[in-house]
């Protein structure tokens, strides 16, 4: 609305009206306001609002600012000063009719009402509105505080849940480690005990075998001497010689003693491996030959290497490098490597159950195979690689390999702890590394990197 348009409109309106700009310039008025002030309308034109009212310019400016920045009607008080000094307190309703813009000042319409004639209800209403506004403000604050408290609570609950989950996971790991440690320690004790018990009688047998062989040879020589000097033996002796097939006995005995010697040596080797494997006496860090550990595990697993389900022998190819002695908890490391080897055998059996080997043409070189290679990476690290050409695994299985209780094997066959324990031993205990690559249907390779000296 332009001041001119306002003039047109205001002329007919009965209440006192003023059109001012944001700075307080009176732009237009109507007759009722002029009457209140006992002035003519022309005299009001171009005056400043501050000149017409008793309130300080500061207060008036603040009121006009409030009017120009609010969309609603802003109620205030303006005390008009007449020329004769009389003061008329008016209620003012201010409304912006053209907002401020960079080009022009705001236009504010002020509707005045003589307070003396205004009803008391208005004052009460104003008070009520004021109280209501305060109440709304108070509620808003309370609501905001509640929202904030709620958010804080949620954050705290989340923090507690995370902490709880972490504690739960830690507890599960500790529990698994405890079970495993307990199992390993009793298994180790038993193995060491059995090995010790077997060792004595076997040494006894091995020691006596030599003499038994000598004595038997002496006795056979004696029999031959008898035969030479007394060729005409009585019939009963001749019959007995035939019954027992003396020639065969003489020929077979050497073979028999040789087998017994090989057998006892084998038992002694197994006993040595068992003791080497359990190494109960070596719960502390010690410098060991890693190859001995691998070989011991292989001796213990020998029976499984011998025959897969379709009687294919698993070939073990060793490509051992020249390794330095490695400082480690040897029985634990042996256990970790044995778990990997056991899985390799399982994977090869799996393939053999699926009939892969049996279908293969005998001229091809595809047979169940485990390849173990070791080498030095640098003066601080060595690497052990254990590869099989078994069933392999999908990427999905590979990503869960080291999770506790993850197994694809039937109930009763796998607990899903083997690789979890290997991981704990290699990575957590020895600060080594373990990784795996695999192709389904082709095979799997585990790579174990070990620090030469864990103390470094």
Ligand X SMILES: Nc1ncnc2c1ncn2[C@@H]1O[C@H](COP(=O)(O)OP(=O)(O)OP(=O)(O)O)[C@@H](O)[C@H]1O
The number of residues that bind ligand X (CB under 6 A) is 23
From the list ligand X, Mg ion, none, pick the one residue 26 interacts with, judged by a Cβ distance below 5 to 8 Å according to partner type. none
The counts of H helices and E strands in the chain are: 13, 12
The yes or no reply on residue 300 touching ligand X (CB under 6 A) is: no
**Structure-token pair, residue 300:** 């213990």
Site for Mg ion in 363-392 (CB under 5 A): none
Q: Which one of residues 49, 384, 419, 450 is an interface residue with ligand X (CB under 6 A)?
A: 419
Distance of CA 436 to the CA centre of its chain: 18
Q: Which one of residues 409, 431, 437, 439 is an interface residue with ligand X (CB under 6 A)?
A: 409
Would you list the DSSP string of 11-69?
A: TT-SS-EEEEETT-BEEEE-HHHHHHHT--HHHHTT-BHHHHBSS-HHHHHHHHHHHHH
> Is 41 within 8 Å of 31 (Cβ atoms)?
yes
Site for Mg ion in 407-436 (CB under 5 A): 418
Q: Which one of residues 3, 32, 263, 414 is an interface residue with ligand X (CB under 6 A)?
A: 414
- Burial tier of 164 (Cβ tally within 10 Å: 0-12, 13-18, 19+): exposed
Site for ligand X in 213-272 (CB under 6 A): none
Site for ligand X in 343-402 (CB under 6 A): 343-344, 347, 388, 390-393, 397, 401
Q: Which one of residues 406, 427, 429, 447 is an interface residue with ligand X (CB under 6 A)?
A: 406
Query: Which lies closer to ligand X via its Cβ, residue 60 or residue 417?
Result: 417
Site for Mg ion in 314-353 (CB under 5 A): 343
Query: Which lies closer to Mg ion via its Cβ, residue 24 or residue 418?
Result: 418
Three-class SS string for 298-354? HHHHHHHHHCCCCCCCCEEEEECCCCCCEEECHHHHHHHHHHHHHHHHHHHHHHHHC
- Candidates 100-108, 275-283, 284-292, 336-344 — which segment interacts with ligand X by CB under 6 A? 336-344
Nearest in space to 352 (alpha carbons), one of 298, 304, 299: 304
Distance of CA 275 to the CA centre of its chain: 38
From the list ligand X, Mg ion, none, pick the one residue 173 interacts with, judged by a Cβ distance below 5 to 8 Å according to partner type. none
The number of residues that bind Mg ion (CB under 5 A) is 2
> Is 348 within 8 Å of 388 (Cβ atoms)?
yes
Q: Is 234 helix (H, G, I), strand (E, B) or coil?
A: coil
Rounded to a whole number of angstroms, the minimum distance from the CB of residue 409 to ligand X is 4
Residues that bind Mg ion (CB under 5 A): 343, 418
Residues that bind ligand X (CB under 6 A): 339, 343-344, 347, 388, 390-393, 397, 401, 406-409, 414-420, 444
């Amino acid at each position: 609305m332009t001041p001119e348009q306002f003039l047109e409109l205001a002329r007919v309106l009965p209440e006192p009206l003023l059109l001012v700009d944001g700075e307080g310039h009176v732009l237009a008025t109507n007759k009722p306001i002029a009457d209140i002030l006992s002035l003519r309308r022309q005299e009001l034109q171009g005056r400043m609002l501050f000149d017409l009212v008793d309130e300080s310019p500061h207060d008036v400016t603040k009121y006009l600012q409030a009017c120009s920045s609010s969309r609603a009607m802003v109620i205030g008080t303006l005390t008009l000063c007449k020329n004769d000094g009389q003061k008329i307190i008016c209620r003012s309703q201010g409304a912006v009719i053209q907002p401020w813009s960079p080009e022009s000042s705001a236009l504010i319409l002020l509707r005045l009402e003589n307070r003396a004639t205004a009803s008391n209800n208005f004052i009460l209403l104003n008070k009520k509105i004021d109280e209501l506004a305060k109440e709304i403000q108070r509620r808003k604050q309370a609501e905001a505080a509640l929202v904030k408290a709620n958010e804080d609570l949620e954050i705290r609950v989340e923090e507690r849940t995370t902490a709880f989950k972490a504690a739960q996971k830690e507890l599960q790991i500790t529990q698994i480690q405890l079970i495993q440690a307990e199992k390993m320690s009793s298994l180790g004790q038993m193995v060491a005990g059995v090995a010790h018990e077997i060792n004595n009688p076997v040494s006894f047998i091995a020691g006596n075998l030599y003499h038994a062989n000598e004595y038997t040879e002496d006795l056979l020589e004696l029999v031959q001497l008898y035969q030479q000097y007394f060729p005409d033996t009585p019939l009963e002796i001749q019959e007995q010689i035939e019954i027992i097939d003396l020639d065969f006995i003489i020929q077979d005995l050497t073979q028999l003693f040789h087998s017994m010697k090989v057998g006892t040596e084998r038992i002694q080797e197994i006993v040595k491996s068992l003791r080497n494997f359990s190494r109960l006496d070596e719960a502390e860090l010690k410098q060991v030959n890693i190859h001995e550990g691998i070989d011991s595990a292989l001796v213990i697993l020998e029976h499984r290497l011998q025959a897969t389900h379709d009687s294919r022998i698993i070939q073990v190819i060793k490509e051992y490098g020249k390794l330095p002695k490695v400082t480690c908890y040897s029985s634990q490391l042996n256990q970790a490597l044995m778990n990997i080897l056991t899985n390799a055998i399982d994977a090869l059996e799996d393939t053999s159950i699926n009939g892969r080997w049996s279908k293969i043409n005998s001229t091809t070189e595809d047979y169940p195979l485990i390849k173990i290679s070791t080498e030095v990476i640098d003066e601080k690290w060595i690497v052990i690689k254990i590869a099989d050409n078994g069933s392999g695994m999908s990427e999905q299985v590979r990503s869960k390999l080291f999770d506790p209780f993850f197994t694809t094997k039937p109930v009763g066959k796998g607990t899903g702890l083997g690789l979890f324990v290997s991981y704990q031993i290699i990575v957590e205990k020895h600060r080594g590394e373990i990784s795996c690559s695999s192709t389904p249907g082709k095979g799997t390779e585990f790579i174990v990197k070990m620090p030469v000296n864990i103390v470094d």
